[in-house]
Chains A and B, each alone.
Chain A
Amino acid sequence: MATEAHSDEGGLVFHPMDQFIVKPLFGDGPVGMFTITNVTLWMALSVIAIIALMVMGTSGRSTIPGRVQSIGELAYGFIYKMVEDVAGKDAVGFFPYIMTLFMFIVFANFLGLLPAAFTTTSHIAVTAVLALLVFVTVTVVGFVKHGMGFLGLFWVSSAPLPLRPVLALIEVISYFVRPVSHSIRLMGNMMAGHAVMKVFAAFAPMILLSTGLGLLVTPLSVIAIAAIYGLEILVAFIQAYVFTILTCVYLKDALHPAH
């Protein structure tokens, strides 16, 4: 293992995955169902941040908004317009639900970017639950709204008849792969960025070990961390955006299953 070889020879520490370990906040016991862990802490922080932005920030109800209220209204308008444009006018009933998903993901992503933070959305358990919630909601809404007509989503009526069963099979598979790709995309993006940053961070103390090599490697890795961090800020927002807009797209399929 390359990392082991490094740590044996030079003393560099490569543990890019350690930041994702779930551990209890108080004590060292096993992680049970209701243990207060770092997951709890960072989810609570995102809830507090959301309340600070969306409730405290708008408590003035001012017609001419201040800074915080502007951001809250911006988020509101952004998601509202997305729901209306992508999922259709009759999907605005799902707006609070989609807003919840977006706000949670965006705040979890951004809070995870703080140094020494724990990124809740980098765990497959969290993103899989989010994606399955969307999947179940969309499927239930589709069957409630259209009954068996929802299955028309898989029957591509514009294709030639002999091709339709094949296409139906492909459509069904892609329908059930949706929650997988939906969750792994978010989790993978979050984890990849953080792990890469950790790998570069492990190279940074090289100058303490060998001055000659360190003069080359340390500045490079510091610059790389800064660059990756900038990219991660972008990714943190874009992944929340993508998760939300895909939710809207799936919702549109459920509300208007005609191909």
Chain B
Amino acid sequence: MASETHNAADAAASAPGMPQLDFSTFGNQIFWLMVTLVVIYFVLSRIALPRIAAVLAERQGTITNDLAAAEDLKVKATEAEEAYNKALADARAEAQTIIAQAKAEIQADLDDATAKADAEIAAKLVESEKKIAEIREGAMQSVKDVAKDTAKEIVAAMGGKADARTVTAAVNARMKG
């Protein structure tokens, strides 16, 4: 340790002051600095900077292209979605028409059947009424006949002579009442 100290002290004694102000080394430093700067300048301006500029420009181009492609794809996707939506809407509309048509047909059939049934029912009603009227007529006649006969018999049994016309008139008057 001690000897090292001495050696260092000796070295320092041989080069006193600030090495920065040792003018004898200035020429050397300036010469090598100029060499260095010229080399760096040529390396940078001839090789490195144009290359990096080209790489950056290329990357910019690639990014722009990719963005354009993405934009294209996006437009295409939008178009496809629109087409899909349109197809869906068409299909839906068609389905609606078909449903409406079917409904109308069914309605028509139903109306037809209802009308026919109504007509049949009406016809049957008329017939039945006619029959009922006939039966009623028949029954009236029978009642009249029976009443006339009975009245004649009763008059005869009472000892009177029954006038057919009077009896009939009397029965008719009663029947009306």
Taken together as a complex, chains A and B put the C-alpha atoms of A43 and B31 apart, in Å, by 11
The answer to whether A47 and B36 have CB atoms under 8 Å apart is yes
**Closest Cβ–Cβ distance, residue A147 to chain B (whole Å):** 28
Q: How far is the CB of B173 from chain A (nearest CB, A)?
A: 127
* A63 lies within 8 A of B43 (CB): no
- How does the 8 Å CB contact mask read for B1-27 relative to A, with 1 for contact and 0 for none? 110110011011001011111101111
**Total number of A residues with any Cβ neighbor in B under 8 Å:** 56
Given A11-B1, A51-B43, A63-B62, also A22-B49 (CB < 8 A): no
B139 contacts the other chain (CB 8 A): no
One digit per residue, 1 when the CB lies within 8 angstroms of any chain A CB and 0 when it does not, for chain B 39-69 equals 1110111011101111110110010000000
8 Å CB interface, A195-228 against B? 205, 208
Chain A residues whose C-beta falls within 8 Å of the C-beta of B41 in the assembled complex: 96-97, 100
Chain A hits for B25, CB < 8 A: 22, 31, 37, 39, 125
B33 touching A120, Cβ below 8 Å: yes
Determine if B158 is an interface residue (Cβ-Cβ < 8 Å).
no
* Interface, chain B (partner A; CB < 8 A): 1-2, 4-5, 8-9, 11-12, 15, 17-22, 24-37, 39-41, 43-45, 47-49, 51-56, 58-59, 62
Distance of A37 Cα from B29 Cα, bound (Å): 9
In the bound complex, do residue A103 and residue B33 qualify as a contact, i.e. CB atoms below 8 Å apart?
A: no
Contact flag A17-B18 (CB < 8 Å), given A123-B29, A125-B29:
yes
